Amino acid sequence: MSRFFVTTPIFYVNAKPHLGHAFTTILADAMTRFHRLMGEESYFLTGTDEHGDKIAKASEEAGQSPKEYADQISGLFRSLGPLLGAKPDHFIRTTDPEHIKTVQKVLQKVYESGDIYFGEYGGHYCFGCERFYTEKELVDGMCPDHKTRPEYIAEKNYFFRMSKYQAWLIEHINQNPDFIRPARYRNEVLSLLESGALEDLCISRPKSRLTWGIELPFDPDFVCYVWFDALINYVSALGYPRGEKFKRFWPANHVVAKDILKPHAIFWPTMLKAAGLAPYQSLNVHGYWLVRDTKMSKSLGNVVEPRQMVDAYGVSAFRYFLLREMAFGSDASFTEEALVGRLNADLANDLGNLFNRVLAMMHKYFEGKIPSPTDETLEDAELKRLGRDAMRNFQSNFAEFRTARALESLWELVRGLNKYIDQSAPWTLFKNRDKSRLGTVMYMVLEHMRKIAVHLWPVMPEASVKMYEQLGLSFDQDKVLLAKEPEVWGLLDSGLVVAQASNLFPRVEVPEPTPPAALEKEAPKAQAAEPKKKAPPKALEAPAGPAEAIEFADFQKLDLRVGTVLSCAKHPDADKLLVVQVALGEPEPRQIVAGLADRFSPEDLVGRQVVVVANLAPRKLRGVQSQGMILVAKDAEVTRLLTSAGCVDDGGKVA
């Protein structure tokens, strides 16, 4: 069996998790799930980096010991996985005793080979980066990342002969195009290596300046440089050198952001070479997440909190947006408006509408039972070809970490299925009693819906499992063979009963921010409370008489149509309101917020035909957009839906 080992960088505990950490974690988790579905034994590693100057300083400012501080922040990163629907196989900390032992073993091995030596060095030290910079690396005398002037430090330290491996690394990168990807970062590293002699790496800090680190095994007066310590986690987590997991899973596929390209592309492979280990398999570099095209910064107040986004929009929508929005290797911009736009367009309109309308039609035409297909037409063959191409493209792009391209490929099938339904017109086949052709059309769509649900499991596992269940199936990842899905057909058994409705992705609106002026106003101080007066009893209302007469031209202004309720759910913020999706013969269903929850349950409405005022001006009701009104007839005791006497095609006009 082939194997796949993927890692995030271990996250530095000088601050709590933000959007960038969330994306890297989700990407690594998605890749793990994908390779498992492709039949590979997979292992996913993440964790925290807890030594160094910045941690010592941050803990001092917090009034804690470095270990107490690291325990607290590391706990936040450990809880990030469950929040994001990610399931790492191991969470490592650089304060773990086994990791410390492994670092010291590697240091001793490289020292004994002659690749670590003692020397004196003076350089420009950036405490933010925890590294020395040469004159040519500075920009106008400043650290290129932190825009601060480094402190010049001259001290005796231990050095790793990194320059010894420069020629080997250039050759290895040139001979292995996928070693660093995408190509722009491979070329950046090659340019750096070929521009001049690679300097040796200072790998220690004297205890007179820093004690929070791993002690060098050959000199107790020094601790290990944080990067030489941190990078070794990728093998210490596997039990190097004799661990069974190390034998099975190394080499790794690393996922990192572009700001730590140099340590992973230059420090780490030369360290592996010096220690006698095989280089990693691939380094996969993603860009920055910008907020309104500006880099996230606590000082600017634009840091995106993952928990807030998950709480507001759900983990499935959040995972989908991040993996769909960022092109591999490029920067991407995050806004709530963009997230909501993707959710409404891709998930609610395209995918959600597909499931809503098909499940509703299944119960209307086949009592919810999956039919047996008969002879296929040229249109069916074309749909199958579209599906095969979409799935192959999804798989090839996903395997190369190009999740945005992969999802766009899959959405060609999602949109193609909606188009196929419109062209095949199941409602007309049902009206004409062509049950044979109707059964084939519905099976064609349902089997492709199953395939879409399977392919989406790496991206949004929670929603994928629910989609599978709505098709009458139980999801078992061990029985899925994703690589065969483009070719295999007919895994959806006839007779299975599908769900009555699907409301996985309701449309949402961006929350309206509270105006600054309103935040600044203080609530008026409460005065002495007066006893509440009971409201006088309401007088009995006289029966309503006839309304004021209108002209026929006024009546003609109303656009009354008959439609089928595809799905219905309770309003998240109002007990008396229902959020209803109604098919009106339009490309997309109408979302209508109706004050019917005190008389009808959501299950009462699904599949029913209703009369809708279709040209009512849209408005928000408790934050949810409503595009019409469902008509009812009621008196003091009974409320009944206004409907047609017989079955009418969706969109049929009341005249």
Catalytic residues: 18, 21, 126, 129, 143, 146, 295, 298
Q: DSSP E strands: which ranges in 543-647?
A: 560-570, 578-583, 590-594, 609-613, 619-621, 624-626, 629-630, 632-634, 639-641
Residue type, 186: R
Strands 590-594 and 578-583: antiparallel
Give the total residue count for the chain.
655
CA angle 7, 72, 223 (to 5 degrees): 70
Torsion over CA: 246, 247, 249, 253 (sign): positive
Distance CA 601, CA 596 (A): 8
Structure tokens at 58: 């941050």
Distance CA 235, CA 567 (A): 50
Q: What are phi and psi of 289, to 5 degrees?
A: -90, 120
Write the DSSP assignment of 346-398 as a string of letters. IIIIIIIHHHHHHHHHHHHHHTTBPPPP----HHHHHHHHHHHHHHHHHHHHH
- For residue 258, CA distances in Å to 288, 465, 473, 557 come to 7, 33, 41, 59
Distance CA 474, CA 469 (A): 6
CA angle 82, 292, 318 (to 5 degrees): 25
Task: Please answer whether residues 414 and 450 qualify as being in contact, where contact means their C-beta atoms are separated by less than 8 angstroms.
Answer: no
Task: Please answer whether residues 342 and 406 qualify as being in contact, where contact means their C-beta atoms are separated by less than 8 angstroms.
Answer: no
Task: Please answer whether residues 590 and 353 qualify as being in contact, where contact means their C-beta atoms are separated by less than 8 angstroms.
Answer: no
Structure tokens at 55: 């941690």
Write the DSSP assignment of 488-522 as a string of letters. ----S-TTPBPPS---SS----PPPPPPHHHHHSP
Task: Please answer whether residues 50 and 63 qualify as being in contact, where contact means their C-beta atoms are separated by less than 8 angstroms.
Answer: no
Distance CA 253, CA 274 (A): 20
Task: Please answer whether residues 583 and 360 qualify as being in contact, where contact means their C-beta atoms are separated by less than 8 angstroms.
Answer: yes
Closest CA to 400 of 289, 282, 321: 282
Bridge partners, residue 578, by sequence = 570, 594
Task: Please answer whether residues 504 and 533 qualify as being in contact, where contact means their C-beta atoms are separated by less than 8 angstroms.
Answer: no
Which stretch of DSSP H or E encloses residue 3?
A: strand 3-7
Q: What are phi and psi of 486, to 5 degrees?
A: -60, -25
